Amino acid sequence: MRRRRCSARRSLDLIVDLDEIRCIVAENDAVHVRGLGTRPVASSDSPPPTFVEAPTGILEFQPEEMTVRVGAGTPLATLTECLASSNQFVDLPGRGTVGGALAHGRDGVHSLGRGRLRDTLLGARFVDGRGRLVVAGGSTVKNVSGFDLCRLLVGSRGVLGVMVDVVLRTRPRPLCTRWFVGDVATADQVHHVTTSLHRPSALLWDSQRMWVCLEGHPADVEEEWSRRLPGFAPTESEPDVRDRHRVRLDPRDALGRASSECLVEVGRGVVHSVSPIEEPRADGASRTIIRRLKDSFDPDHRLNPHLVGDWSG
């Protein structure tokens, strides 16, 4: 097995990067897709891996289109800084790369109001396990031209292909973002809060306290807080869900898990737990489809082979 390591590039040269990525994928038995390494992926007993990294850099940002095309290896901080210059943002959580956040596929806690991460990806070019460079989607927000390969890439943890560059939908920054916290001890009270608010950005509950994020015009936020959230107080800090195990359950089941060790995203069913919780598994027919997809896009299982998933066995 030949081992190569691509260095991250400061200036984007897509042609060179593409050739390099395709060469690495085609010539190695096992290839790990790596961003900034903020989510460790290789276990210690794995053989020394061959890494592949995506290109970096903002390729095209048109504020009036509310889209940005960016190398998948671009650090999130770089993208955030670029978009902020036009008062826009993309809600990709984490501290790594754009491609890493998409491949991981986990929403931030604001998905209730800001929408799902998976709907952010409009188009992508990726190199699959066969070494094919594939164009998926397009550069416009609305697009139903053919099958939606982009949806498969989000959350795929790199097992179908290495994202090279992506087109993302951006959003305008809300005029105001404020967090509030209050004592809420029962699921009925949680429901009362949930149904009384128009469109909260985030709702979290730990069985004793509830955190609410409201976004929009400052006067609307103030009004919603004063009229709909009696007993809630403003807070400067949002709940810290980093370093917790994250599982998505049926929203009703999730509420029952709320505790001092389990913070629940109300309405979304996401549980952030100190201890591991078993994830629901896809059914047999779905796993069959996933196995076929893996066999089509990466028949030799070269990409991130250390990961175990529905395609395995």
Binding footprint of another protein, residue count (CB under 8 A) = 80
- Shortest Cβ distance from residue 159 to another protein (Å)? 7
Among 11, 145, 237, 275, binds another protein (CB under 8 A): 145
Among 70, 72, 98, 160, binds another protein (CB under 8 A): 160
Among 80, 140, 208, 226, binds another protein (CB under 8 A): 140
In this chain, which stretch among 45-53, 91-99, 135-143, 204-212 interacts with another protein, using CB under 8 A?
A: 135-143
- Shortest Cβ distance from residue 292 to another protein (Å)? 4
- Shortest Cβ distance from residue 99 to another protein (Å)? 16
Q: x/- site string to another protein, residues 8 to 47, per CB under 8 A?
A: ----------------------------------------
- Please tell me whether residue 246 binds another protein under the rule CB under 8 A: no
Are residues 99 and 160 in contact, defined by beta-carbon separation less than 8 angstroms?
Answer: no
180 Ramachandran zone, left/alpha/beta (phi>0; psi -120 to 50)? beta
H/E stretch holding 209: strand 209-216
Tokens standing for residue 281:
């598994």
Site for another protein in 75-134 (CB under 8 A): 87-88, 105, 115-116, 118-119, 128, 132-134
Which ranges in the chain belong to alpha helices (H)?
14-27, 76-84, 98-104, 111-114, 149-153, 187-196, 218-228, 251-257, 284-297
**H helices, E strands: number in the chain:** 9, 16
**Up-side HSE of residue 210: CA atoms within 13 Å toward CB?**
25
Tokens standing for residue 91:
């809600």
- Shortest Cβ distance from residue 255 to another protein (Å)? 9
- Please tell me whether residue 277 binds another protein under the rule CB under 8 A: no
Q: x/- site string to another protein, residues 172 to 211, per CB under 8 A?
A: xx-x---------------x--xxx-xx------------
- Please tell me whether residue 269 binds another protein under the rule CB under 8 A: yes
Q: How far is CA 267 from the centre of its chain?
A: 18
Give the residue among 123, 122, 121 at the shortest CA–CA distance from 154. Answer: 121
- Please tell me whether residue 297 binds another protein under the rule CB under 8 A: yes
Among 245, 248, 257, 301, binds another protein (CB under 8 A): 248
Query: Strand 88-89 to strand 171-172: parallel, antiparallel, or no bridges (unpaired)?
Result: antiparallel
Tokens standing for residue 104:
């991981």
